[in-house]
Amino acid sequence: MKHFLRMFVQVCLYFYCKCLWRCLKFVVRKLTGRCELQRICYNTKPGAARTMKIEASLKGSKSKRLQTSVSVHPDAIEKTIDDIMELKRINPDINPQLGVSLQACLLQIVGYRNLVAEVEKLRREPYDSENPQHEEMLLKLWKCLKPNSPLKARISKQWCEIGFQGDDPKTDFRGMGLLGLYNLVYFAEWDTGIAQQVLSDSLQPKYSQFNKAEWEKKKFDKAIGYSFAIVGINITDLAYNLLVSGALKTHFYNVAPEAPTLTHFQQTFCYLMHEFHKFWIEEDPLDIMEFNRVREKFHKRILKQLQNPEMALCPHFAASESLINM
């Protein structure tokens, strides 16, 4: 009985707040002469803060046409803007900037949705050693990371040198499918110097044959010792979950002036690899058995950063000088 009463009160509060909110919106519109979409566009600067408010407003509208506007095809956005202006009785000649602002927001909203679908498709596609394109990408990864060490055979223990678990990397891509390979190749090809350095660092045991003074003199990291490729696939999983959960909206709406693309996602992956590398060093774990703990702590740090509506993880993506000078 108590459970039923609690549910009844919650339902009543929900409908009361919903009705109160709609009444408040009606009063504000009468007082200002502007609808909620106008107030958001005129009072909030471009970026995640504006786009996320527009997205919430459209999704929460009582109009089905407005609710579905966040999931239209990119080619239909201009017509959708016209429909919104008509539905809200907004004269586009008097409010020319409103249409421009709404279009930019919708491009980001629809683009994010499409990016999730594109990333999901790559994640679901398994690595196929019979596919020449897949094999070509895998070999490109080796060449970018180990340009001076030719691969002696396709099936080889050499793969362990770049952080795969066995002599055939195809088995390591199961969790993230082609997405893991795409990200690793992007990192190795477009941020080659840093990727090679992170790989080199990851192979260093803790103090190894050097004493602490020699280690620090040579500017080696305090504690590395992780499998580069496996960690890259794991960080791909982290980036994927941030994307699907919507946490990356803050970042993408701040860095992509229009629709976020797969390149934006891959740049974000590179940033996460950079940051995780530094974070691993800061945490100074005893060994690889602490990986899950460190990863979870790192995940929470990134989530906290993304709660800031002005956050841009990598606004101007470039090779990180901080890693070179560590």
pLDDT one-digit tens code per residue, 277-301: 999 988 888 888 899 999 999 999 9
φ, ψ (nearest 5 deg) of residue 211: -80, 175
Q: What is the pLDDT of residue 206?
A: 56
Per the CB < 8 A criterion, the answer to whether 83 and 103 are in contact is no
| Tokens describing residue 223 | 């504690």
Question: What length does the chain have?
Answer: 326
Q: What is the pLDDT of residue 20?
A: 47
d(CA 56, CA 325): 43
Burial grade of 237 (CB within 10 A; 0-12, 13-18, 19 or more): middle
Radius of gyration of the chain (CA): 25
Band (pLDDT 50/70/90 cuts) for residue 93 is confident
Per the CB < 8 A criterion, the answer to whether 146 and 162 are in contact is yes
Per the CB < 8 A criterion, the answer to whether 159 and 168 are in contact is yes
* pLDDT digits 0-9 by tens, 105-129: 999 999 999 999 999 999 999 999 9
Band (pLDDT 50/70/90 cuts) for residue 214 is low
Task: Write down the pTM of the prediction.
Answer: 0.83
Band (pLDDT 50/70/90 cuts) for residue 204 is confident
Residue 60's alpha-carbon distances to 63, 66, 145, in angstroms, are 9, 9, 48
Q: What percent of the chain has pLDDT over 70?
A: 80
Triad 240, 326, 295: Cα angle to 5° = 30
Q: Span 271-276, mean pLDDT?
A: 95
pLDDT at 304 over 50: yes
Triad 313, 275, 296: Cα angle to 5° = 100
**Packing angle of the helix pair 48-59, 96-124 (nearest 10 deg):** 90
